[in-house]
Structure formats: structure tokens, C-alpha cells
Chain A
Amino acid sequence: MCCISTISTYINNRLDIKFNRLGHKVHHFCHVTLALFTCNGCGVGFPTPDMQRRHMKTDWHRYNLKRRVATLPPISAEIFAERVLQQMDATRKNEEKLSIGGGNKKTLRHHKAPSSVATLSVAGDDLDSVIEDESIDLAGPSVEYVASNAARGVDGEDEDEDIDSIIERKLRSAVKLPLSACIFCSAQNFRDVDDSLAHMQHDHGLFIPERNYLVDLKGLVEYLSEKVSIGNACLYCSFIGRSLNSVRDHMIAKQHCKIPYDTEDDQLEISNFYDFSSSYPDDYEEEDDWDDVASGDESPDDDGSTVQVAGGQRQRRTETNLVLDPTGLELSLPLSRLRIGHRSLARYYRQSLRPTTELREGQGTVIAASSRQILATVPRDPIKDRLTKKEWRDQRDKQNRDIRREQRYINQQKHYRDPMLGG
């Protein structure tokens, strides 16, 4: 076929057909010094099989395969890269054109088409359209990916992308989402943030947690929109889309148009926009863990340290003079006048004893005199107890040893028993 002939001519051109002493045709691969492992579809060769395999996985190779299917000649890496760039530009323009319109389903569907075209580099699903119209500009975002990949495919670099390259790619393809635009759909005609938030709540079910403690609403919305538009990340799960549209589709389809707030990590993620200090109890004194190392101009008080935080925030006092009990089981906090018991005594702190009734003289006398019950027992001598227990233990061990020792001798017979005589 065409390709094969191309390939064969290629190889023939490269090969010097020599004749040996015997006059047989010998294919002498003198010109092809580094290309032992080839890709016939793309017309390239690699020195190592690894590089060949890596090349097979690239988009460029796949694109060439499709071209072969469409009975087109293969293209080189550079031309492919150019084409991808062009396609990127084209799709961006298309997107901008389409997003100006209202956010209804038709546009959505419409939206879908260019998105799939735009992502030709990754999936290569609708490559037909590209192949048909070779002048179509290829999507931008994937260009560098492909080019770099192709280059890498030849050079033999790692196929896995660096995080940096991902970030760069994302940044480049970031669609600037205005503040009063809907994060989840392409609706943009809102007057202000509240309006768009209302739309998001009504149509997509977005609920902003702890609204009354929220200080920076705009910041939160900006953060969320950046998360979606630049990072293409789903708010609720760990899905990362290829583009804004992809992640939007995911969020809508999976009903992930919500801000996660269940785990502590989720809460911490958006905690910057909240201020919960009004919910703290009155005598709450925060531990000032986050003192700046630089600010060394704190004047320590007598008992603790009173830090004047700039900005008129509440005074935070830390407990510094902690006093440990001689037994080592109790810690006294001077500031809060608390006493902390060691956890090894936790079972005793948790005990709830029957309240002891104070005995009057008569009762005490009667109980003490009675033979049935004694009020005050002889106090246990711990040393004596230990010795007694040790004795018991030793005795028990000795018994065990004796039993085991006996086992060795149970078969020993004192008196000879002649087997003949019935022993």
C-alpha cells in the first residue's frame, strides 16, 4: 500500500545494498546507525526498544495511525506540533464566542462539541474532524504537552508529566471567570456576587456553610471559582478535569456542586474566609502557637505571657509557669487555676463513688465493736505484700519446674523388666 511503499522507499533510500563476495544481496545498514527499533507508521527509528515503546504511546504516533487509516501520509513531529497549536487557538476563540450566549442547555450541548475537539490531544476521539479539515486549529493547551511529549518520545525522557508542567498547562488554559459568574454553568449575566450565589444555590444546590461566621464572601467565591476554572478540580471530590467544561460537566452530572465541610481538612481548607472567634467561650485563651519568630518584642508578664497582637485582636495568654507535682502525676496551671491529672490515673478520675455518709459517734462505736464488720482495716504493707506475692510466684514456678522435670523421668523404670517374661 501507499504507506508500505513509502516505508520501503524510505528504507531503501537509507540502505546501501551491497553485494558480498558470493554475490548475494546483503542489506547493509551502514547509514542507519542509531535507528535499530523503528516505527513504520511515523517513519522514525529509535536506538533502544524503550524509546520505541514510549513513542508508540504518544499522541503523535496515534495521530499518524489515524492518518494511515484515513489513507493519508504520516506527518512529522514538528508539523504535528504546529497543527496542535493552531487547533488550540481555534478552540479558544470558539469558546469565547459561545460563552457569551445564555447558559441554556443548547449552548451546553454546543459547548460540548468544541470541548471534545479541543481535547484532541488527549483522547483523540473526534480526530476525524481534524483529519477532514486539516486546517483546523488544534487546541492550545495540549500543544506543549504533545510537542514536549513527541520530543521526549525521541529523546527518551520520562513519559509522566511533572507537576510543574501540569500547573503551567492549567494556568495557560485558565479561563478567567468573573466574580459574578456561575461556577458550574456558563451563566454570566448576574448583577453581583449575591445574585450569582443565589442562582448557584437555586439551580445547582450550592450551600455555603456557616454563613454567619463568614467574613470574606467574595474571597471564598473567588477561591472556589479559581479552583474550578484554573485548577479544573471538582469542589467535592478529587476529580481533576482536562478543562473547565470537563470539570463542570462532572460536577453537574455527579451533583458535586457543593462545598465539602465534613472533615476537619475540608473545614481548614476554607477556614481563611471565616472568623469563629465570636463563638469561643468567654474565658477562652488561645494557645499562641503561631507566634512570629521575627517579632521578638514581647514583654512577658509575671505569670504568663500576654501578647499584644497587632490589629486589635484579642489578647492571647499562654501558660508558661506550669508546676509539676512532686509525684509527677499532677500539673498545675497557674493562669487558669486548673489541675491536670496524669492519664495513668484516668480510671480513678472516672470513678463515681458512692457518697460516704459521715458516721456519728454512736454509729461508729457500734460498727467498730461489732464482730461482723470492721471500719478501719490494718493498712496494707506494700513491701510485705510484694514479698508475699514473690513467695507465691516462686512457689508456683518451683512447682512448674518440678512437674516438667518429672516428665523426663517418668519412663525410667526402677526395676528391670524382662520383655521375655512379660515386662
Chain B
Amino acid sequence: MSLQEIVVDGEQSSDTKNSLISLDSPISLKYVAAGRIAQSVLSYLVREVTEQRITNVYDICHTGDSLIESETNKIYKNVDEKGAASPTTVDINNCVRGYSPINRDSAYVLSNGDIVKISLGVHIDGYTSLVSHTLIALPTIPRTEQVSPTTGVLADDICAAHLATEAVISLLGTVLYRYENQSGYFGNRPVNGERIREIVESVAQTFQVKIVPGSSVRRIKRFLVGQDTVHELDVKGYAWGSISIEAMTDDPDEGDLKKMIDTEAAAEPGEAWLVDISMCTFSGVESDLNKKNSLQVSRRTLKPHRDLKPTIFTRDYNRNLSMKLKSARGVLIELDNRKSVYPFHLNSLNTPGAPLGVAALVNAEIVAPTTVMMIQGSPAPVAARERTTILLMPSAKHIGEVVRLGGCDIKPSWVHSEFEVIHPEIVELLSDKRAGVRLRNVQGTDLNVVKDDIQEMEL
């Protein structure tokens, strides 16, 4: 009884913090600012990787983190909580999430043909923008030479992820207006989790790829963007597998999912949504084993990485324990004072003996690790990931618009897939008109990054 009361009350009271009224409102401005920084840093990193200026993964992550830090420090001086909403992670090939090395020597070095997924996040005062982009690390091609685009399963993967994301964004945008000359696709049914699921799964089916569990399309709020340690009560959208990968089951309709996410609730204007879709290739053997839901990677194949230990952690603020270990206490103090509710990287802690302290905290379940997940199989499957944050900005006068915070205008890798989207609904969503959805992209700024600065930061 009381729980519901509080939740309902909280919902009503925090709506003021979460609902977007117009582009000029302070909340929207913060979102846009976060988006701008995310976009800038992401495009910078993508450029650096494609032009092969950075090959060591540690460098990529470190650069990303430092840039985010410096850029957020320049703006919103009066806001206390701002910075990286997620440490920059670079996942290669079959690694799905969570890889951010702690030292340079043991870090992975990119090689040709790697599928690189760069993920990062920026938040200002809790208003988050999370972005991810997949690219193929290839040697620089001089313009004179003609090289064919990448084909094969890699291409399918990347295309599927990209197109699914785009389609979902358009779909969510359709809530902002009444589609007048509707052909019956959008105005009739509410845009809810089930609908989104349909779209994404049809794209996956078309491209013959599987959806990686952990992908989700969900509404985000201030400070609540689907961290592992937060078990929110009413979440809109859809999640494949589970909100929490650890609690995943093979059947997405079971247990946790039903409780955690409300797939019936429709998207509404004035909300912020997170679109995070990962697709992966699969070998023929695996698809036979998992007949129930052949569009999703089974749990047996999505596993924690054997070798890579987690380096990203999130503080669980629901638990409070006094620790015996001095380093653990120090880390806790640092976390509570300086860190926000978002995941942090082990390197960002200044307390001496931080790794030991964090290990103790993980044991006490005060801090949750972000396990590095990978997909097993032979031949080794490859995953592609696209992630964007969008704002469903209403407008009184005219049709509202979708503000895309990052992940746009980044030149996708040159791929060519043999498959094509056929479903008319999705075709309409993906068309240039986007079924009438107005999309505004938050542009990134050119970052004047001086290499010396980075090296200084390293030290």
C-alpha cells in the first residue's frame, strides 16, 4: 500500500523534473548540452579510430573520458553533478559490453577488420545522453583506390543494428502528432514496448541476425537510465533478455521482465527515451538449439568474459554497510562524495588501494560490477551496437520534434548487406520523410584536442 503511494507521489512530483516542455526549458537545455558533448567526443573518437591515429583501446577509452570530463567542466559551473554517465568502453567483435582497460600494456590493440563498438555517456545534473556507435576498423583507404564495401555477416549485423535504431526513433517520434493522412499504421495502435519489439525483431529477422540480450528501448528519467543497481518500478519500453543481464533468463516473457518493465505503456510526448540495440550474428548450430525465441541470443552463449575482469562499477545506494577494510572505507567515502549514481571506472578513483577496496565492496554488494560480456560460438559471432538518446519534444504550435542527442551524422562504415527491409511500416519509418517525424540532430562541436593535453592527463 504504502509503496504504491510513494511511487505514485514520486512520479507526480518528479514529473516536473523529467517532463520536457520546450527546447528552451532548463531541462531540455541540459539534455542538449549533454548530447552535444557526447556527439562531439564520439565523432572525435570515431575519426581517430578510422584514421588509425589511435589503435590502443586504452588510449581510446582514456581520451574519451578525459574529453568528457574537460568539456563538462567548462559548462554549467554551478551544477555539482555532471560528467561521464558511463566510462568510455570499446567492445571488439564478440565482446558485447563493458570493456575498458585499466592499463595500457594489457589493453587490446585494434587490428584490421575488427568491429569496434564505442560507447559513452554524458550527463549534466542527471540529464543523460548515452551514445554508441559501431564501426569497422580498417586501414585508411586512399581515395584513388576503389575498394568494395564490406559484405557478409558483418554487414548484416551493422545494417540491422543501424536500421533498427533508426526505425525505432521514427516510431517513437510518431507519438508527437496525429498523423493525418495515415495509412493505418501509426495512429491506431499505441507506441508501446510491444510495438517496438515487433519492429526490432522484424528487422533482425530480415537481416538474419539475433538480438543480443541487454538491448533495450526504454524511457529514461533524470538519474535513472537503467543502471544495474537501480530496480525501477515503472519502466516503459521493451528490453530483450532482462533489464539486468545478471537476472536474465532465456525466455524474455518470464519473471523479471514482466515485473520490471511495462510493455503496455505507451510513449508520450515530453519524455526522454533511450534506444540501445545490439545485434549479433549467429552460427547455424546455435539457432537449432534455441527454438523458443530464435531471435534472441540464448543465455548459454552470452556469458561473462573469461579473461577480462570488470573494471567498471556502479554504487548501489540502497545498501549501506560499514566496511572493515580501510581502503574500502576510503573508496566508499570518495564514491559518496564525488561520484554520482552512474557507473565509474576503476582508474577514476584516487583513493590508495582502490582495487582492493572495490573488490571488498563488490563482495559486500555495495558496489555492482559491470561484467564484460561476450558471445560464445564458433565461428566467433560478431555483435554490432547502436545506442542513442532521444527527446520527444512537444510543441504547442506545430508538430513536435524528436531531438536526437548524439549518434547522428557519423558516417557509418561502408557496408553492403544483401538483405533489405521489406515490411512497409518499417520502410515508411526509415524513409527520408520518416513518416512525418521531424528530427533534429544535436550537432557536435569540433574539439580542439591537443595531444599533449591528453598525455598530461594520462600522467
Task: Point out residues on A near B: beta carbons under 8 Å.
Answer: 357, 359-363, 365-374, 376-378
Contact = CB atoms under 8 A, between A and B. Distances in A.
Interface in B1-47: 2-3, 5-6, 10, 14
14 contacts: A360-B81, A363-B317, A363-B341, A365-B126, A365-B224, A366-B230, A368-B6, A369-B10, A369-B221, A369-B233, A372-B231, A373-B318, A377-B6, A378-B6
A366 B341 contact: yes
A366 to B, nearest CB: 5
B223 interface: yes
A360 B340 contact: yes
A365 B221 CA distance: 10
B253 interface: no
B15 to A, nearest CB: 13
Contacts of B309: none
B409 interface: no
A368 B10 CA distance: 8
B223 A374 contact: no
B231 A366 contact: no
Interface in B296-320: 317-318
The 10 closest A-B pairs by CB, nearest first: A362-B341, A365-B223, A373-B318, A362-B340, A378-B2, A362-B223, A366-B341, A372-B318, A363-B317, A371-B231
B222 interface: yes
A360 B126 CA distance: 11
A374 B3 contact: yes
B80 A371 contact: no
A374 B6 contact: yes
Nearest to A372: B318
B346 to A, nearest CB: 20
Given A361-B125, A362-B223, A365-B224, 9 more contacts: A363-B341, A366-B223, A366-B227, A366-B341, A368-B6, A370-B317, A371-B231, A371-B232, A372-B318
Contacts of A367: 317-318
Contacts of B14: 365
Contacts of A357: 336
A363 B224 CA distance: 10
Interface of B: 2-3, 5-6, 10, 14, 80-81, 125-126, 221-224, 227, 229-233, 317-318, 336, 340-342
A378 B340 contact: no
A366 B6 CA distance: 14
Contacts of B223: 361-362, 365-366
A359 B341 CA distance: 11
A360 B232 contact: no
A11 B173 CA distance: 145
A366 B224 contact: yes
A361 B10 contact: no
Contact of B318 (A360, A361, A370): A370
Contacts of B222: 365
Contact of B231 (A361, A363, A370, A377): A370
Given A361-B126, A369-B230, A370-B318, A378 B341 contact: no
Contacts of A365: 14, 126, 221-224, 341
A362 B336 contact: no
B233 A374 contact: no
B126 A362 contact: yes
A376 B6 CA distance: 8
A362 B230 CA distance: 12
A366 B3 CA distance: 15
A360 B80 contact: yes
A312 to B, nearest CB: 57
A366 B221 CA distance: 10
Contacts of A366: 223-224, 227, 229-230, 317, 341
Nearest to A366: B341
A283 B111 CA distance: 80
Nearest to A377: B2
B92 to A, nearest CB: 31
A93 B186 CA distance: 136
A8 to B, nearest CB: 104
A115 B322 CA distance: 79
B232 A370 contact: yes
Contacts of B342: 362
A361 B340 CA distance: 9
A362 B10 CA distance: 14
Nearest to B126: A362
Nearest to B14: A365
Nearest to B1: A378
Contacts of B340: 360, 362-363
Nearest to B222: A365
Contacts of B233: 369, 371
B126 A369 contact: no
